[in-house]
Structure 1
Amino acid sequence: MSLDSERTIQELKALRELTGDEHGAQRVAFTDTWVAARKFLTDRLAELPVEVHTDPAGNLWATLEGESNKELLIGGHLDSVPNGGWLDGCLNVLAGLEVLRRVAAQGKPPVTVRLVDWADEEGARFGRSLYGSSAAGGNIDISEMRKLRDRDGTSLEDALARVGVTLGNAPEARSELKHAAAYLELHIEQGPVLEGLGLPLGAVLGTFGVERHIITFHGQAAHSGSTPMNVRRDAFRAAGQFSQEIYVIAERHGGVCTVGSCKTLPGIVTSVVETCEITLDQRHLDAGKLAAMWQDAQEAAQRFAGEGGCTVTFGDLWSIEPIPFHPELIEAADASILDVVPRSHRLPSGPLHDAAEVARAGVPTVMLFVQSLRGISHNSIEDTEEAHIRQSVEALDRLTDRAMAWIGGT
């Protein structure tokens, strides 16, 4: 049986029909819709000569035994954000399914090939991205995970129990990477770079490092009518001046940054703001430049606070170092793209992906990106041209053969 990339498109559409509505994809992790998406996948895996199981963290594995116990992993995630797009995550899985079909039809492969659907990549429900791959990579703190609640107050532990997973056992998923020799992941770009270049596909250099912090400016509440402007200690003004400066900092270092939220106290129209809390997300592919961005941000916050008669404090939210992908697999990804289209492009990934946790665990890793129309994702209008989807499946297939050969030679 040859590869049928058109079948991937039809299965993506069928999954959209099953698990979406007029607002977009609704495959939020551990919900009934997510369970239905998993069944959609396992029903198709049942047609293949693979062993299927769910690991202690809730990741789903399909294993095609090869001549060697060295393993090539192909991964993605079926879960989505609420009202998400039809391709984010599930393209990875269903393209991998089609490649697995092709490999299985040709007999026993030279190495073992495994398809994985990682559990809760998005973190949309409990706020902790990359849950399943973090567990498999050995980078999970169960005591912290037990504290997580969704907006309805349901704990992650209870949500997992509902789908037959015991949170306390999640670290045992580490054994799944015991024989992993390479990891491949295809994903929509979720950004505008490839579209801007007029290219369908790109090879990913690695994922940005991320620094996330809470920055709180402390001023003095005072009556908004009777307090002259020149004596106000306005925490919001200091935060606003700082928020302008972080864009200058990001441009200076070649990174990106976002102020994602802003909370003020007392939060009434008749009072000068006493406390202004903002969240800052900074990202860069270079660890030294990422550290410099955060240092510059702290200095700027202190400067604007001081100029406004305020003080400022800093809190840590979360961080991950930049994760470079394997140089030989990047070369293989480039060559596989060029098998399918005339030009390739190498680019970093701003968003995090399960590939980052797998690479962090020491498994040689690479990703392929396929162009996103308008650069938009996590939105119901997320889209990619069908011709480009077909080309992405074909490039992943070529990369699979190259990766198997590479594993055999290592």
Structure 2
Amino acid sequence: MPLTPQRTIDDLKELRGLTGDEQGAQRVAFTDTWLKARAFLREKLGALPVTQHMDAAGNWWATLPGASDRVLVIGGHLDSVPNGGWLDGCLNVLAGVEVLRRVNEQYAGKPPVTIKLVDWADEEGARFGRSLYGSSAAGGNIDITEMQKLKDRDGVSLEDALKHVGVTLSDAPQARSELENAAAYLELHIEQGPVLEGLGLPLGAVLGTVGVERHTVTFHGQAAHSGSTPMNVRKDAFRAAGQLSQEIYTIAERHSGVCTIGSCKTLPGIVTSVVETCEITLDQRHLDAGKLAAMWQDAQDAARKFADEGGCTVTFGDLWHIEPIPFHPELIDAAEASVREVSGTAHRLPSGPLHDAAEVARSGVPTVMLFVQSLRGISHNRIEDTLEEHLALSVQALDRLTDRTIAWMQAQPGA
């Protein structure tokens, strides 16, 4: 049974028909549609000599035992955002199924190392606002007390949603045992951005996931009548925020990162008053920890400058932070070689979005990702798409990377 990338494309289309509608994919974690996707995966894996089980956090594992108990993990996620795309997450899993088919045939059911395919539970965080739930549980980075507080928009708690699929939230940290013998982790994903399309390239090797700083920046001015207050004496909090919104582009360019103001709240929030308080949210991302810190410092300095110039003050609040997570340099080399082998050229790029691979890498497992081009750079949208010839190349690249990684694992001390 040689590698057949078209089979992955056919599986993806079948899953789209099973779990999507005219608005897009509806595989939101822990819903009945998500369970239907899981059943579909179990069926596809049923033709292989693998054992399947759900771990304590709700992740689904298929294991092909090898001559060594050292484990190569191939991962992805079937869950989607509401009205999502047909490829986000599930390409990773179904391409992994095809690689398992080929490896099983080549080695007559006994590869040199054990291979596990995992469908991580709730990568998206779309329902409860906490992304990377399943992989963070397996990676040992989960706070049960905080997770017990999470509820969806209908008031259903994460704890109850997990009970619906047979999982007890307090047991989730036990999933850590799944990575005990993991020697490498591979993940294929659509890029979800425009870089590869802009370069005219089908595939890329991923350097790592960027660090993220998320903060609130609140300017404090003075409310005043919008008709009787001259412009030159106003203490307009919105004006200072607007000046910062322009400056973040300069900051991003200076450090080759990205900065985004995603929300803005004003008080008193009426048309007849100068803005007294303006709170904005700032998201900054970079693969280099030093440059990420410098971007946040530059933003604070600029905010203080604009506040002072406008007769206002400014305060800062923390929302969330994650450090940059670089992938394994030798596996990046292997990923680049695999991309070059199937497409004739290669490009290295960081991942702006977070992925389960970040949590696995944080746990100490050597990790790398492959990206395949996204048309128009669009994801989390029903128009998300990738050319079928590029999907086929991505399955081939993951397969070549699997072989290279097995060889790399065998060459490690103690293998």
TM range (shorter): over 0.9
What stretches of structure 1 of length at least 5 have no aligned partner?
none
Equivalent in the alignment of 1:347: 349
Q: CA deviation at 1:350?
A: 1.1
The separation in 2 between residues aligned to 1:338 and 1:322, in whole angstroms, is 26
Equivalent in the alignment of 2:32: 32
The separation in 2 between residues aligned to 1:54 and 1:127, in whole angstroms, is 23
**Equivalent residue letter for 2:207:** L
The separation in 2 between residues aligned to 1:317 and 1:240, in whole angstroms, is 21
**Equivalent residue letter for 2:27:** R
2:5 corresponds to 1:2: no
Equivalent in the alignment of 1:147: 149
Equivalent in the alignment of 2:201: 199
Equivalent in the alignment of 2:292: 290
Q: 1:182 aligns with which of 181, 184, 191?
A: 184
SS of the residue corresponding to residue 335 of structure 1 reads helix
SS of the residue corresponding to residue 88 of structure 1 reads coil
**Equivalent residue letter for 2:88:** D
**Equivalent residue letter for 1:148:** L
Equivalent in the alignment of 1:48: 48
The separation in 2 between residues aligned to 1:223 and 1:161, in whole angstroms, is 55
The separation in 2 between residues aligned to 1:321 and 1:13, in whole angstroms, is 36
**Equivalent residue letter for 2:81:** V
Q: CA deviation at 1:101?
A: 1.3
The separation in 2 between residues aligned to 1:334 and 1:324, in whole angstroms, is 15
SS of the residue corresponding to residue 225 of structure 2 reads coil
Equivalent in the alignment of 2:81: 81
TM-score by length of 1: 0.98
The separation in 1 between residues aligned to 2:216 and 2:205, in whole angstroms, is 33
Equivalent in the alignment of 2:61: 61
**Equivalent residue letter for 1:368:** L
The separation in 2 between residues aligned to 1:167 and 1:223, in whole angstroms, is 53
The separation in 1 between residues aligned to 2:167 and 2:138, in whole angstroms, is 14
**Equivalent residue letter for 2:77:** H
Q: Please give the per-residue CA displacement for 1:172-210, whole angstroms capped at 9, x wherever unaligned.
A: 111111000000000111111111111111111111111
SS of the residue corresponding to residue 396 of structure 1 reads helix
The separation in 2 between residues aligned to 1:307 and 1:394, in whole angstroms, is 57
Equivalent in the alignment of 2:245: 243
The separation in 2 between residues aligned to 1:23 and 1:124, in whole angstroms, is 16
**Equivalent residue letter for 1:88:** D
Pick closer, same or farther for the CA change 1:350–1:109 going to 2, 3 Å: same
Deviating more after overlay: 206-215 vs 223-232: 223-232
**Equivalent residue letter for 2:69:** N
Deviating more after overlay: 44-53 vs 245-254: 44-53
Q: What are the within-5 Å matches in structure 2 for residues 241-390 of structure 1?
A: 241-390=243-392
Equivalent in the alignment of 1:226: 228
Q: Please give the per-residue CA displacement for 1:259-284, whole angstroms capped at 9, x wherever unaligned.
A: 11112222222222222111111000
The separation in 1 between residues aligned to 2:152 and 2:250, in whole angstroms, is 35
Q: CA deviation at 1:232?
A: 2.1
Superposition CA RMSD, Å: 1.1
**Equivalent residue letter for 2:45:** L
Identity across the alignment (%): 80
SS of the residue corresponding to residue 305 of structure 1 reads helix
The separation in 1 between residues aligned to 2:32 and 2:6, in whole angstroms, is 28
The separation in 2 between residues aligned to 1:80 and 1:394, in whole angstroms, is 24
The separation in 1 between residues aligned to 2:211 and 2:317, in whole angstroms, is 18
Q: CA deviation at 1:124?
A: 1.2
The separation in 2 between residues aligned to 1:309 and 1:330, in whole angstroms, is 51
**Equivalent residue letter for 2:222:** Q
Q: CA deviation at 1:226?
A: 2.6
2:130 corresponds to 1:128: yes
Equivalent in the alignment of 1:92: 92
Q: CA deviation at 1:325?
A: 0.8
